[in-house]
Structure 1
Amino acid sequence: MIEITETDALSRVAAYCSTAEHCRAEVTEKLQRWGIPYDAIDRIINRLEQEKYIDEERFCRAFIHDKYRFAKWGKIKIGQALQLKKIPQSVFYRYLNEIDEDEYLAVLDNLLAVKRKSVHAENEYELNNKLVRFALSRGFEMKDIRHCITLSDENDELE
């Protein structure tokens, strides 16, 4: 195994952080895999934070935006993923609540409408149960799921 110096590790990780947003936990894990001593990891992480290569709040905003817009995750699933990345709830909670409520419900409604077409159910009750389980697995809250399913049921009756 090739020995990596602290300076070399710092420059490699700085390059890694400059290509995309990364959190403290991701960078620490990478340095640990490289076999960097813990005291050196602390120095490297602190330097990266001072030079703004790592910024937990900026990471949260980007992560929430990407998971919500592109992966179509709900707030619960995004929050759990951020906790797995060792981001404190006090840091990410504010950004989760900045998501526009109407846009959030539109994303959920669209997800449910697409899923509704591919779900096989014997009756409306079974269909709605399957849709609820699907939306819960995507990390959406029950109150929002009920809101969207009720709306789509009302729209079906109007047609």
Structure 2
Amino acid sequence: MDKKAALAKAEHYCAYQERSQYEIRNKLYDWGLKTAEVEELISELIVTNFLNEERFAKVYVSGKFNIKKWGKIKIKQSLKIKQVPDKMITKALNTIDSGDYLQTLLELAEKKAKLITENDAYKKKYKLITYLMGKGFENNLISEVLKDNNLP
């Protein structure tokens, strides 16, 4: 694939959905471009604002929190895998409203507590905490929400 065709295809790829530089770089290599061409195209995409790492991080955080109901730990790990800089991850995570965050945690806890059929209270609490930690919520917040709302 020549550079011009790759640029058009990459622009379309970025326009369809926000992407990280890591995702674009991998896609360009998959298309058979060489390192110098890949870096040149990434620079071009940044200049034309098709590629914006900060915008990507904010949209990613918003989507994973609002749609998938992920906690900050899981979102942060996922962004690190996509090689988003720590500073941008922190900035994006700070866009989550703390009230909404706690409310989401409570709703997930209440919903899951109803579904756990365990009779032993200790095991039920363990299963609930494990589930919420798997969703990426912080252990101290989980304990606080469970205690404040008399959940198992």
Aligned-pair CA distance for 1:6: 0.7
Of all paired residues, the percent bearing the same amino acid is 30
Pick the structure with greater CA Rg.
1
Aligned to 1:65: 62
Q: Shift in Å at residue 123 of structure 1?
A: 2.1
State how far apart, in whole Å, the 2-side matches of 1:128 and 1:149 are: 9
Say how many residue pairs are matched: 152
Greater Cα shift, 117-126 or 42-51: 117-126
SS in 2 for 1:144: helix
* Superposition deviation, residue 106 in structure 1: 0.5
User: Counterparts of 2:129 and 2:148 in 1: how far apart (Å)?
Assistant: 14
Q: CA–CA distance in 2 between the matches of 1:130 and 1:66?
A: 26
Aligned equivalent of 2:43: 46
> Match for 1:136 among 123, 133, 144?
133
Query: Match of 2:29?
Result: 32
Aligned counterparts, 1:1-159, within 5 A: 4-153=1-150
Query: Aligned partner of 2:120: which letter?
Result: N
Report SS of the residue matched to 1:116.
Answer: helix
8 Å CA contact 2:54, 2:88 repeated in 1: yes
* C-alpha distance in structure 1 between counterparts of 2:34 and 2:96, whole Å: 40
Q: Which runs of 5+ in 1 are unaligned?
A: none
Find the residue that maps to 2:150 and give its secondary structure: helix
Please say which of residues 118-127 and 130-139 is displaced more in the overlay. Answer: 118-127
In structure 1, what is the Cα distance between the partners aligned to 2:147 and 2:116?
17
Deviation at 1:151, TM superposition (A): 2.3
Q: State the TM-score, normalized to the length of structure 1.
A: 0.92
- Using the size of structure 2 for normalisation, the TM-score is 0.96
What's the RMSD between the two structures over aligned residues? Answer: 1.2
Native 8 Å contact 2:129 2:142 kept in 1: yes
Contact 2:58-2:95 at 8 Å conserved across structures? no
The Cα of 1:122 is off from its aligned counterpart by: 2.1
Q: CA deviation at 1:12?
A: 0.4
Structure 2 SS opposite 1:87: coil
Aligned equivalents of 2:9 and 2:92: distance in 1? 30
Distance of 1:96 and 1:90 partners within structure 2: 10
Q: Give how far 1:101 is off.
A: 0.9
